[in-house]
Structure 1
Amino acid sequence: MAVTNYDISSAAYRKEGAHDYELSILTGMDSFAYIIRDRTHNRLLAYKSETLPANDQANWPDTINRIIQNDDKLRSVSYGNCILGWESERLTLVPQKLYDASNPRVYLEQLTLIGLEDDVRAERYQELGGELLFAAPLARINSVERRLSPLRTHHIAGGLLSAWGARSRRLSHQAISCSIRGSRIFVAAHRSGHLLYFNTFVFTGANDALYYLLLAYQQCGWVPSRVPLYLCGEITEHSELYRHFYRYVEDIRFCQYPTPPALPPELASLPAHLYFELLCLG
């Protein structure tokens, strides 16, 4: 069964006001998380996060149905806006000048195995100067979209790379940025807004995650003790993973969203970087 990591709601949440709310969901691999925002007042109303064990991932449609059916904020509630963020390790970014929309599968097929049961989707990101392509099992992504009817579906990488790039341009510096959720680590490197490196990995322990993080520094020729690391997702200063990172990286910061939502008392103590990825979907 899924393990609940966080489940915090505000007393201000009202089902009858759902037409003014935005539901942002993140799933696709070994996690399911969402936030609910009051769009009128830019106020966070709920955050929930679950980790999906291997048997739940193997029975994906049943798992998604059960999660939604057991959640009174998802079951039979129609939100004014619903955005789905998808996690997938099979993705690539193709420069706009090199992209041929007639056959998007060919770009991913050169990097990884793409089966007939996979759906390949393309998203244009002007700020990234290219097309973000990702593959997802068609039955998996359809099962979520059918139940939740999102207005848009994005790969989580697009919003993260855009937000991290904007911060790098604003500060005019170089940095490594990293998102952690479940057993996935997504890493990127920027210099003055220019994307130099990005990759996503599945890790089985803190040592694995540390290796993938230091690989990003190595690929850029950067010294970990001199280049800051920005973290988001479900990692805290008290976690084993954070302690491993801090042994090598002296300057660790948590990602901050430019226009964060207001927090009611029930959510005031929740670190904002936990749901940073979900804010980036909007």
Structure 2
Amino acid sequence: MTQGNQLNLIVGLNGFSFLVVNPENKTFQAPTQVDFAVADYRKTTEEQYWEAFLKYPELTRNYEKVTIFHKNAYATFVPNELYDEGQPELYLQFATKLFETDSFDIDEIPELGVKNVFVPYVHINNFLLDQFDTFEYHHFETALCKQFQKIAAQRSDKLALAYVDKNLFSLYVFQGSNLLFNNTFEILKPADFVYYLLFTAEQLELDPEQFPLQLFGAISEDSPFFQLAYQYIRNIEVATVTTNSHSLSQLEARIFFPILNA
């Protein structure tokens, strides 16, 4: 099963998800989401990961390549010409609370001429180093941005794309291949979602009756988030993701969309 296959994991403090990718025929296996929904303060994050690794045999096999994507709000895009490699913390200190023990990493996004400065989960990386011979890691927003740009580059108008996942959603606005805006917002209810959409539209002078918005992630037309947003943004749609794999539902394809071709 694993000969030539790749393992892509999205990791966070409250759970993780993974997908087995066959890069030759562009098919996907074992789309799985692991949710640490019930807080157990007797267990460390590493212990929760270890229990999950014991449960899912796909995580203990050998792979041609393993790629980790850190998913959190501790990331920001910086134009190459403004980046000071000696002080990466400068770009995050006003956006989130930082600690002296935080480390910083950089993803290059040459398609946009920017760097994604982010705080990785070092303790999760250390756990994964004990599980895999080698792996590379990036921030989730790097993969998401690259996939969104491919969609936007096929058209010339302004296009908004959002990825919705539990209590966070990421919003991007492109015109052609040019990135005009991106941010990640915390949302607890549908009204939060609509507020940030309309606020961004106002700042960018986008007409809610006109501008197109495509939704990815854990959302469907039955979602209260979509249903409320549709009352205010008329040209909104849940994206259809085309894959060669019959093993993925459309919802799974939207959830794993950023890492399908990573």
Shared fold (TM-score, shorter chain, > 0.5): yes
* Equivalent-residue separation in structure 2 for 1:30 and 1:88 (angstroms): 11
Number of aligned residues: 261
SS of 2:111's equivalent in the other structure is helix
Q: Is there any run of 5+ residues in structure 1 with no aligned partner, and where?
A: 1-16
* Equivalent-residue separation in structure 2 for 1:18 and 1:26 (angstroms): 19
What is the TM-score when the length of structure 2 is the normalising length? 0.89
- Contact 1:232 / 1:274 at 8 angstroms: preserved in 2? yes
* Equivalent-residue separation in structure 1 for 2:236 and 2:130 (angstroms): 40
Deviation at 1:187, TM superposition (A): 0.8
1:159 to 129, 143, 156: 143
2:245 to 263, 267, 280: 263
Counterpart of 1:6 in structure 2 is none
2:53 to 58, 68, 72: 68
* Equivalent-residue separation in structure 1 for 2:38 and 2:130 (angstroms): 23
Deviation at 1:143, TM superposition (A): 2.7
* Equivalent-residue separation in structure 2 for 1:21 and 1:66 (angstroms): 24
Report matched runs for 1:62-141 at 5 Å.
62-74=47-59, 76-141=60-125
Counterpart of 1:14 in structure 2 is none
Change (3 A) 1:119 1:180: same
Greater CA drift, 96-105 or 82-91: 96-105
* Equivalent-residue separation in structure 2 for 1:45 and 1:88 (angstroms): 25
Report matched runs for 1:8-27 at 5 Å.
17-27=1-11
Offset from partner CA, 1:154-202 (integer Å, 9 cap, x none): 1111121122223222211211111112211111111122211111122
Greater CA drift, 111-120 or 240-249: 111-120
What is the TM-score when the length of structure 1 is the normalising length? 0.84
1:212 to 178, 191, 196: 196
Amino acid at match of 1:237: E
Deviation at 1:115, TM superposition (A): 0.9
Deviation at 1:210, TM superposition (A): 2.0
Counterpart of 1:10 in structure 2 is none
Change (3 A) 1:59 1:215: farther
Change (3 A) 1:40 1:65: same
Offset from partner CA, 1:223-275 (integer Å, 9 cap, x none): 22211111111111111211122111222234456xx54223x4466553232
1:273 to 243, 254, 259: 254
Deviation at 1:148, TM superposition (A): 4.3
- Larger relative contact order, structure 1 or 2 (CA cutoff 8 Å, min sep 6): 1
Counterpart of 2:31 in structure 1 is 47
